Chains A and B, each alone.
Chain A
Amino acid sequence: MFGGFSHSVIGASHEATGLVCQDHSAYEVNEHYAIAVAADGHGSKKYFRSHVGSQFAVEAALETVRRFYMDPERFEQDFPANHRLVIKNIEKQIIVNWNTRVQRHLEQNPVRLEESKKFSKEEFQAIPKESYYGTTLIVAVAGKGFQFGFQIGDGSLVALFEDGTPVMPMNYDESAPANMTASMCNSNAASMFNSFYTEHEKVIAMFTSTDGLYTSFSNEDDFLEYHLILTGQLDRLEEFGKSVQKNLVKRSHFGTEDDISLSCICDRELLTEMAPVLRQKAADNKAHAAERKAKRLAALKNTD
């Protein structure tokens, strides 16, 4: 049985400038699959409706995957052999779905004077309409016997498979050029996704997060350790949920002051078995942290 949670917290910098939270996140579980989604609206001047854009991205992802799963048995049978093609198709459908929502929203809510007056006439005309809603998107899906994920723009996906080691399985070789920010609002957005697919029998948990979480860490090891600790507590999900939200608020406050979203899906039966193991692993890591750090520093030092 799958479980999950999602939280989006507003960053201190957005609160200070009167901006609403630009992030959006959600999760959905049923007997066939679980999906965790997070999106980060760009938030700066020309993306003045990106808080709506991130909500649309999350909704578009949930709806599209739901549609692909309309006949779950058939999907589970056909998908593994054609995963590359199907994932590409899902990505394209999400872009179409998002653009449809954006068009509808614009028709129903034309640009107001207070939104356009920050630009000169020429500047405003040069902005493509979709850009008002610019956002990233990151999605993780756990099915029966397979897992996959995809993303456009910044954000992180962490998975813990049966061995209990947190990993970032996304393949970044398909992405946009390094100097270009990938966004749902790009005209070639469908070609800017990164993705991964695995056929692990079981996954303990998968997490998607916006970059406000990643950038609150000084190194990647700490970021992964955070997910290990988190997963070790998921067997008491109901009580732990509030602690997670509180922790995200603190990470935003003391970190980069950006919005943070974290969405999680987990296998609750596997967690019953694995959570004590993961807690012990986290405790061991903590106990040996100083020793490991000293070894690492010694290895890094170049001596004559």
Chain B
Amino acid sequence: MKVDQISIFLENKPGGLERVTRILKEANINIRTLSIADTSEFGILRLIVNDVEATVRVLKEDGFRVSRTTVVAVEVPDRPGGLYSIMEVLSAHGINVEYLYAFVEKSGENAVIIFRFGNPDQAIDVLIKNNLTVLPGAKLYSL
């Protein structure tokens, strides 16, 4: 039920994102969703893509520092209280969120929240037991 996310180290300077996206375009890789964590000096670009292996390979070949992280994707109805329905479960079980980001599915009915947990297995367990929809990686990559 886990999802592979790719993280890329980028300096805070013009042209960094352009280089990454050009490499992905040339390798015919589709980005499902992304987020950037930034400081004044550097940023970490996080991607969910349709082909994890190929993405890691082409970016490393071009000299980027790339790491793979396990994240958890949770699907909720795209309406008020959607995100809350997840957070109240996590809070009740004392599970800490390192970071999260979200996107809305093409159908427009559901939102997908990408979570980074210290212990993904434990979080998945809790989410499923509370009847939340955890998306497997394969499903997410092909959305």
Whether chain B is bound by chain A comes out as no
